[in-house]
Amino acid sequence: MCWINWFILINLNKDKSFTLLNKMNKRIKHRWPDDEWFSIEKENINTIWLWQVRLSIIDLSDAGHQPMFYNKSFWASNKKWKKENINKSNISITFNGEIYNFKEIKKELKNKWYIFSTKTDTEIILASYLEWWKKCIEKFNGMWSFVIYDKRKNILFWSRDRFWKKPLKYYFDWNDFIFSSELKAILEHKIKRQIDLDAINHYLTLQYVPSPKTWFKNIFKLPHAHNFIFDIKKKSLNIYKYFDLSYKEKLKNISEKKLKEKIEKKLEESIKLRLISDVEVWAFLSWWVDSSAIVAFASKYKKKLKTFTIKFDEKEFDESKYAKAVSNQYKTKHKEFLVKSSDMLNYIEKLAYQYEEPYADSSGLPTFILAEKTSKYVKVVLNWDGWDENFGWYDKYNIHLKSKKLHFLPFKKIIAYIFKFLYKISWKKLLLYKLFLYFYTLWDSLIKRHLNYTNYFDTFSRDELFKKKIKKKLKENTFDVFTKVMQWKENLKYLDKILYLDFNTYLPDDLMVKIDIATMANWLESRSPLLNYNFVEYTARIPYEYKIKWRNRKIIFKKMLGKYLSKKILYRKKKWFSIPINYWLRNELKSYVNTIILDKDLICLKLFKKDKLLNLLKEQSKGINNWKKLWTLMMLNLWYKKYF
């Protein structure tokens, strides 16, 4: 597991370049406890600086140094290869991630007369690139972001994994081409820090910024499942998608028994792969079915598996007893961390810095704390991400099913305005407003309805919030972003469209960002068995009727788990991995959040109407639940404070 800092500079002083690259690495020093290495390549007037920092997981020896150059001893049976094509300095790589099936690929390459001098998966990527060129990606099962410098072709070949598990961000202005695992490092260069207003618009709706945008103009994220070829001489970029999850071809004439067996087998394969490591692999254990299933299956292959969970001092949010029950059942070495409200409050500003873009998913806070405490014991953990998108858990899926039935309801706009009127005169504002929004959007397209079912600021409250002069500067809306994602998906069934949309927006840009930042900032590698692409491709073929019906979710998944977990674990009401923010904003955080949001030196008052901000704060103190909106605005201002 490594982190990447590269840049290409035109006619820049060598000493200055070294100093600059050193600053980039210091900016992300929280991610590299084990090793660092660098290399300098000259290409005409271009200087290519490569620097890699490493958390050692596979091949702990110095042979795992990166940037890695392919060994001179390589030889292939194909006579068309010339010696100049295999010189040590012809291709090099910086790689962040894990290729779980690298041993299988290694056997295949050895049969083609490739020779290896390390036990790393990194060397396998280089050999695969030589053998299969761009199609090497199709061989890989894992998580990755890597950049290969191919001196023969004078190009950089980039790739991101299928589900955005490992980040890669870049800046390009025709003179300097800079990329890194984190924005913090890129910002060490003398880049003008300009906020992208459209990113703010997306953030208010989604709680995150969708790829390829970041919060900074001219700095971008390489989207998941994309490759990127940069021609160094021509300074040209070619970005293309190499993988797309298909929900079109459904399983037919398959019995429920056979379906459960297939899911079970594929899950076993996925977890077995992710236990491959030269250091110990442990597991996060929450009180959810998802993580309980991971522990149940991992315990098949690892005796005395070690598990970690958080225990809250607020009884309403603490369900650690369910995690403990699973631990007892599978005899894991279980570690509980008691977290108090005061502990979590101390992390808020730290999160604003580490997430490096405003990020309003409040579950990032307990995830970060769990990762920090876990990292004192281990380097690698299994997480539970991917269950909800694979098998359809979220409340919004139920709402969509109901909307499908009511879509042709007559007079729905009249009903909506009745609720809007009641909302204005009644103290029960939140429920009435939600009903207004629900009926008002019933005649909208599926994408617009989805946006309003998942929003932090819905279409109406967001428009009211912006100052007029700011609103005029907005060029994009989130509906257009989602519409682009859904191009050519008209033939999918209703709920499959929503599952596809979440897998290509919410999962990569929110959940994967959360787990990567939370773990990597604490020297911890996190692996996602549920996002094994073979497993995901199979679940996408399962008709959604097996996954979700009205008020019944993860149907086939829970039936498969019947022999592993008790009904008390499987069928209890699921709660979010959440924290008592709503309570805090009326008590411990009340003064703090007021001060932050209304700080005239920060960004909220520059963008939004003051009376609207004051009204949100006033309503919260009176008992109206505005915590999502206030948390979103607070994190925006805290980010601005850290980076501007």
Instruction: Report which of 278, 275, 311 is spatially closest to residue 294, judged by C-alpha positions.
Output: 275
DSSP string, 537-593: HHHHHS-GGGTEETTEESHHHHHHGGGTS-HHHHSSPP--S---HHHHTTTTTHHHH
Instruction: Report which of 641, 635, 639, 629 is spatially closest to residue 601, judged by C-alpha positions.
Output: 641
Amino acid making up residue 80:
K
Known catalytic membership, residue 2: yes
Distances (CA, A) of 374 to 282, 327, 338, 370, 517: 9, 16, 12, 6, 14
Residue 79: strand, helix, or coil: coil
Amino acid making up residue 23:
K
Helix or strand holding residue 205 (H, E): helix 197-206
Pairing of β 380-382 and β 281-284? parallel
Given the residues 1, 2, 351, 597, select the one marked as catalytic.
2
Pairing of β 35-43 and β 46-54? antiparallel
Which of left, alpha, beta for 225 (phi over 0: left; psi -120 to 50: alpha)?
A: left
User: Tokens 């997306």 identify what position?
Assistant: 202
Q: CA Rg, the chain, in Å?
A: 25
Report the Cα 334 to chain-centroid distance in Å.
27
| 284 DSSP β-pair partners | 308
Which of the 8 DSSP states describes residue 421? H
Q: In what order do the strands lie in the sheet with 281-284?
A: 333-339, 306-312, 281-284, 380-382, 525-527
Pairing of β 226-231 and β 236-241? antiparallel
Q: Do 126 and 91 form a contact (C-beta atoms < 8 A)?
A: yes
Active-site positions read 2
